């Protein structure tokens, strides 16, 4: 039986290689920054989620070092045992105050936050509605719950309204990414809020790629919306915040429910307290350094203007995620390899992450990129496009 299973796995791997869908890791030999050492080679990176350039920020590094001096390197237990320190608690309180929510709960990862929150809130007989392009963790959270699972057309609020009207039994929750990670577009949040208010449904927004980047003081897609309008807000802390982790923010009732019932929070070791100290320092920078968001806006505008002049097939996006759709997986790989030969790192995104025929280069910007970096990328893409025709 074991031999048959191994043979099947080997065949599956061979098929992935044959269809240009095989995934391989890189070994990074430097700190996270726009100039990376990848597999021993210096590359200009346009594929990190370090949107504000904080992953190697000296003040955040000092805060983590001080945290280690005070708290050590490990938390030693789950939050409900002895792992929840004053550093964790202070971070949660500061996040909640910044976002205008009653409470926040720190999770180890965004995946764990989504799985834990959805499965804790949705029970058998309930109804769950999700955008078709939601992140895998939101889809998996829905499948892991016992609720009936409905998916609506991407950003299709009219279709969502029809589904909500047609299904009235049980508690209902609508879930959407704030910024969609592969397309870079922003959810129609105003329409989602209205639909949920009219149909008495709970709204959950995953703002992993919006927090720190969008909204006043970087409060994300939900900036300007109240806790009542967006009752369940999840965001990650390893992208624009430059560190690690995630949180769910909302009412006292929501957070106490997750503390009791979110299995991915209850049954796991707490993150190191030193990490929480680093995140507290990151929060101060995220909320105060408006120049980082302005720098991103300028870089994105220049890139889109230049790409338009070159006729590059960019998807519509105002965020640091700028997808360049090239079609088939082999072409996406070919363009990615050609960029790497020119000293530029951009990942090829292929099925099943994106639908068949929509393989792409997922170009992402950081506040630590420069205008010269953008010009270098545009020049390289122009050369590759000419050679590929």
Domains and CATH numbers, the chain: 23-52+290-388 (3.90.1150.10), 58-288 (3.40.640.10)
Q: What is the pLDDT of residue 51?
A: 98
Specify the 3-state DSSP secondary structure of 257. helix
Name the nearest CA neighbour of 137 among 104, 174, 177: 177
Helices (H), the chain: 2-18, 58-71, 86-99, 110-121, 136-144, 157-166, 189-199, 252-261, 263-266, 273-288, 290-310, 329-341, 371-388
What does the pLDDT look like over 52-77, one tens digit per residue? 999 999 999 999 999 999 999 999 99
Residues involved in catalysis:
181, 209, 239
Percent of the chain at pLDDT exceeding 70: 99
What does the pLDDT look like over 280-299, one tens digit per residue? 999 999 999 999 999 999 99
Q: How confident is the model at residue 388 (pLDDT cuts 50, 70, 90)?
A: confident
DSSP 15-52: HHHHTT-------B-S-SSSEEEETTEEEEE-----TT
The mean predicted confidence, pLDDT, of the chain is: 96
Specify the 3-state DSSP secondary structure of 327. strand
DSSP 42-66: EEEE-----TTS-TT-HHHHHHHHH
The average pLDDT across 26-31 equals: 90
What does the pLDDT look like over 134-143, one tens digit per residue? 999 999 999 9
In angstroms, the CA 11 to CA 30 distance is 35
The average pLDDT across 374-389 equals: 93
Q: What is the pLDDT of residue 101?
A: 98
Specify the 3-state DSSP secondary structure of 270. coil
Q: What is the pLDDT of residue 39?
A: 87
Edge-to-edge strand order for the sheet containing 232-236?
103-107, 246-250, 232-236, 202-206, 172-177, 127-131, 148-152
Q: What is the pLDDT of residue 95?
A: 98
Name the nearest CA neighbour of 193 among 230, 163, 219: 230
Res. 1: pLDDT tops 80: no
Cβ–Cβ < 8 Å for 335, 384: yes
Own/partner pairs for 148-154, CB < 8 Å, 24+ apart? Answer: 154/180, 154/183
Q: How confident is the model at residue 353 (pLDDT cuts 50, 70, 90)?
A: confident
Cβ–Cβ < 8 Å for 365, 307: no
Name the nearest CA neighbour of 279 among 84, 70, 48, 57: 57
216's CB contacts (< 8 A; 6+ apart) are 223, 224
Record the pTM: 0.95
Res. 85: pLDDT tops 90: yes
Q: How confident is the model at residue 93 (pLDDT cuts 50, 70, 90)?
A: very high
The average pLDDT across 41-62 equals: 97
Structure tokens at 214: 């969008």
What does the pLDDT look like over 188-217, one tens digit per residue? 999 999 999 999 999 999 999 999 999 999
Structure tokens at 15: 């098929």
């Amino acid at each position: 039986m074991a031999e048959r299973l191994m043979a099947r796995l080997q065949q599956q791997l061979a098929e992935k290689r044959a269809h240009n869908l095989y995934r391989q890791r890189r070994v990074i030999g430097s700190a996270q920054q726009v100039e990376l050492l990848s597999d021993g080679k210096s590359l200009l990176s346009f594929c990190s989620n370090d949107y504000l350039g904080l992953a190697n920020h000296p003040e955040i590094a000092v805060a983590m070092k001080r945290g280690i001096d005070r708290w050590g390197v490990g938390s030693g237990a789950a939050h409900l045992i002895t792992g929840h320190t004053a550093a964790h608690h202070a971070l949660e309180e500061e996040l909640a105050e910044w976002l205008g929510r009653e409470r926040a709960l720190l999770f180890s990862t965004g995946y764990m936050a989504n799985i834990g929150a959805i499965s804790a809130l949705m029970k058998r007989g309930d109804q769950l509605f999700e955008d078709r392009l939601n992140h895998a963790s939101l889809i998996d959270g829905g499948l892991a719950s016992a609720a009936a699972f409905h998916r609506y057309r991407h950003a299709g609020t009219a279709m969502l309204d029809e589904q909500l009207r047609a299904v009235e039994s049980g508690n209902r929750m609508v879930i959407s990414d704030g910024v969609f990670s592969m397309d870079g577009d922003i959810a129609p949040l105003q329409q989602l809020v209205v639909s949920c208010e009219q149909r008495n449904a709970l709204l959950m927004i995953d703002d992993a790629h919006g927090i720190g980047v969008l909204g006043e003081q970087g409060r994300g897609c939900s900036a300007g919306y109240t806790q009542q309008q967006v009752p369940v807000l999840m965001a990650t802390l390893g992208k624009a915040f430059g560190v690690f982790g995630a949180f769910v923010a909302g009412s006292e009732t929501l957070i106490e429910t997750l503390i009791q019932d979110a299995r991915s929070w209850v049954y796991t070791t707490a993150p190191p307290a030193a990490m929480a100290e680093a995140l507290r320092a990151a929060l101060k920078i995220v909320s105060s350094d408006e120049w980082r968001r302005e720098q991103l806006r300028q870089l994105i505008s220049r890139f889109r203007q230049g790409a338009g002049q070159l006729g590059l097939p960019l998807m519509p996006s105002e965020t640091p995620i700028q997808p360049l759709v090239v079609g088939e997986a082999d072409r996406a790989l070919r363009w990615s390899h050609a960029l790497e030969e020119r000293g530029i790192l951009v990942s090829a995104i292929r099925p099943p992450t994106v639908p068949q025929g929509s393989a792409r280069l997922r170009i992402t910007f950081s506040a630590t990129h420069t205008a010269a970096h953008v010009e270098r990328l545009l020049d390289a893409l122009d050369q590759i496009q000419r050679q590929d025709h």
